[in-house]
A and B are shown apart, each in its own frame.
Chain A
Amino acid sequence: MSSSRNNDPFWWSFFGAGGVFSSFFIPIHVLLLGIALPLAWWTVEPETLLELVRHPLARIYLFMLISLTLFHAAHRIRFTLHDLLLAKQIDTPAAYLCYTGAIVGTVVTLVTVWTL
């Protein structure tokens, strides 16, 4: 076993937080915006929604929801690649690719949420 520090617990923390956060809240968004709104079970003016998401708490919520979900997905995709391709060699490039994607996504989310 290598003596260098293992950073997997670091990434796992975001994976775990993202899993909890997204499993609680993503279904609500899917129900409201993906089903209820298109089927006209519920109607809302776009201006009203924009006003809602401009509230500081809503901005923080959206940032956490999107960013943590990205980290959750990154970690799961990394491990799925590892398991599906049955290759240890894939792990380091997959880790860089997935986590870089999540970090870039987080920055984009931050800018978007900030400037809404």
Chain B
Amino acid sequence: MDKTIKIQVRRYLPEKQPDPFWQEYEVPLEPKWGVLDALIYIKDHLDGSLSYRWSCHMGVCGSCGMMVNGEPALTCATFLEEYQPGPIRIEPLANFKVLRDLIIDTDDFMGKLKSVKPWLITDEKRDITDGENRQTPAELKAFKQYTLCINCMLCYSACPVVGLNEDFVGPAAIALAQRYNYDNRDSGNAARHDTLLAHGGAFDCTLIGECSRACPKHVDPTGAIQRYKADGAMEYWKRLIWPKAATAPKNDGIVKQID
């Protein structure tokens, strides 16, 4: 081995010992190796008991998010060379329950994601003979940025409000709600208002902005949340002053998942 770098991993093996502990490994400092490559090397050559998630190795699947030197990062897109001379400290994503080693429990996030109904909700029933549901480039542009979210949960790790308030629905879920709210084919705003206006909804955000800084896909959840606050405040006053004018939930049933 020519050049090496030390990797400190926060291990958690609940069947062996109740508390997490640190374990250090030394891996080759290969050019262009990501932190994920180092973990794969450890598992293949040094310690087969190490557990972590990964899948695509190209910044698309959103599985390999971990804390690298205290910052949430996709480990496939974070390179060893940037951390010379080391050591590099790797921990499971902050603000999540840890199941084992670097593997977090995603159930809470999945539940929150589902609560904002991130799918197309349409008023009219359409079938295959109706053909394509065409959109202009401008209509696509209105929400395209929010479609780039890969559900990697880095924004949940970066967000102090998520850490303080377990009810907060969180940055990615609100950005994905907005992805459908701004889609001209969708008419599910009313159903989403019920979650986003409630306790734990968008107004729990205190506008810190860490989610947008952490986002590897430049979705800008902060911007999505701020835009929602303006829309949601209008809806709140409508419901307060003239409930009949408020966006009535027409339909929650006809569902097409397009992404």
Q: Is there contact, CB below 8 Å, between A4 and B199?
A: yes
Q: Is there contact, CB below 8 Å, between A6 and B206?
A: no
Total contacting residues, chain B, CB less than 8 A: 25
Cβ-based interface call for B37 (8 A)? no
Q: Which residues of A contact B199 (CB under 8 A)?
A: 1-2, 4, 6
Q: How far is the CA of A9 from the CA of B197 in the complex (A)?
A: 7
Q: Which residues of A contact B208 (CB under 8 A)?
A: 83
Q: Which residues of A contact B230 (CB under 8 A)?
A: 16
Q: Is there contact, CB below 8 Å, between B236 and A9?
A: yes
Tell me if A's interface is mostly helix, strand, loop or mixed: helix
Cβ-based interface call for B110 (8 A)? no
Closest B residue to A14 using CB positions: B233
Tell me if B's interface is mostly helix, strand, loop or mixed: helix
Given A79-B206, A83-B208, A86-B164, A1 and B200 contact (CB-CB distance below 8 Å): yes
Q: Which of A10, A16, A82 contacts B164 (CB 8 A)?
A: A82
Cβ-based interface call for A12 (8 A)? yes
Cβ-based interface call for A55 (8 A)? no
Q: Which of B164, B198, B201 contacts A88 (CB 8 A)?
A: B164
Q: How far is the CA of A6 from the CA of B193 in the complex (A)?
A: 12
Type the 1/0 row for A69-89, where 1 means its CB is closer than 8 Å to any CB of B.
000000000011011001110
Cβ-based interface call for A47 (8 A)? no
Cβ-based interface call for A112 (8 A)? no
Q: Which of B203, B207, B237, B240 contacts A8 (CB 8 A)?
A: B203
Q: How far is the CA of A1 from the CA of B28 in the complex (A)?
A: 48
A33 vs chain B, min Cβ distance (A): 30
B161 vs chain A, min Cβ distance (A): 8
Type the 1/0 row for A16-59, where 1 means its CB is closer than 8 Å to any CB of B.
10000000000000000000000000000000000000000000
Cβ-based interface call for A13 (8 A)? yes
Q: Is there contact, CB below 8 Å, between B164 and A6?
A: no
Given A6-B201, A6-B203, A12-B203, A1 and B233 contact (CB-CB distance below 8 Å): no
Cβ-based interface call for B26 (8 A)? no
Cβ-based interface call for B165 (8 A)? yes
Which of chain B's residues 172-219 have a Cβ closer than 8 Å to chain A? 195, 197-201, 203-204, 206-208
Q: Is there contact, CB below 8 Å, between B229 and A12?
A: yes
Q: Is there contact, CB below 8 Å, between A88 and B165?
A: yes
Q: Which of A1, A13, A86 contacts B167 (CB 8 A)?
A: A1
Cβ-based interface call for B232 (8 A)? yes
Q: Which of A8, A16, A87 contacts B204 (CB 8 A)?
A: A8
Cβ-based interface call for B223 (8 A)? no
Closest 4 CB pairs of A and B: A9-B236, A8-B203, A79-B206, A1-B200
Q: Using CB atoms and an 8 Å cutoff, list the residues of chain B in contact with chain A.
A: 115, 160-161, 164-165, 167, 195, 197-201, 203-204, 206-208, 229-230, 232-233, 235-237, 240
